[in-house]
Amino acid sequence: MRKTSAVDRPDLKYAAYARERLAEMPPPADPEGFALAYHLLHLSYLVVADLESQIHRPRGWTLPGFRLMFKLWLLGPTQPARLAEISAMSRAAVTNAVNTLERDGLVERRPVPDDRRAVAAALTPKGEQAVQEAFADQTRREQQWFAALSPDERSTLTELLVRVLASRPGDTEG
């Protein structure tokens, strides 16, 4: 039975060391602020890399592609501009993602009747099946990631994240 501790994890060991070093420094150094930001970004990075390599790449797709298709699955045909603001991405990134998905036959572009500038991205039947299959796998993998927390703890974590998201600083504040 293999037991893993913080010492076996170079990233956690580094974070602990950095926190100690920052504790010796004068403000604005902030050991606890550093730890919060570091662990948040690092965990997200690991989850993204894991979902990408374990779930989506073996199927020949990507996580960003899946996330876009998942939105189309829930929302139906949607304009790139709306997908961009939902995802907080640039319109150019959506264009590129739709290009790749369209090339693979998972998504198609449709004209919008009322606006000749606009285009709506929509799932093809192949894309819809692809989303449903990957969705089940991704859900199970996400559950594994957070299995170490109790339901109450998971709920607390979600609530704290949402509070930060709802209060996020504007582009020029500060």
Partner DNA sequence: ACGAGATTGTTACGGCCGTAACAATCACCT
Partner DNA sequence: AGGTGATTGTTACGGCCGTAACAATCTCGT
Query: Which one of residues 15, 22, 93, 122 is an interface residue with DNA (CB under 7 A)?
Result: 93
Query: Which one of residues 103, 111, 117, 173 is an interface residue with its own copies (CB under 8 A)?
Result: 173
Is-contact 123 134, C-beta < 8 A? no
116 SS3 class: strand
Stretch that binds DNA, among 10-18, 20-28, 107-115, 154-162 (CB under 7 A): 107-115
**Partner touching 34 among DNA, its own copies, none, CB below 5 to 8 Å by kind:** its own copies
Query: Which one of residues 23, 36, 92, 112 is an interface residue with its own copies (CB under 8 A)?
Result: 36
What is each CA distance from 41 to 72, 78, 126, in whole angstroms? 27, 30, 34
Complex with DNA: residue 31 or 70, whichever CB lies closer: 70
Query: Which one of residues 100, 102, 124, 146 is an interface residue with its own copies (CB under 8 A)?
Result: 146
Interface positions, 76-115, toward its own copies (CB under 8 A): 82, 85-88
Beta-carbon contacts of residue 124 (< 8 Å; ≥ 6 apart): 105, 106, 107, 108
Cα–Cα distance, 150 to 122 (Å, whole number): 38
Cα–Cα distance, 72 to 70 (Å, whole number): 5
Quote the least distance from Cβ 167 to DNA, whole Å. Answer: 21
Ramachandran class of 105: left when φ > 0, alpha when ψ lies in -120 to 50, beta otherwise: left
Question: Residue numbers of the site for DNA (CB under 7 A)?
Answer: 49, 53, 57, 62, 64-65, 79-81, 88-100, 109, 112, 115-120
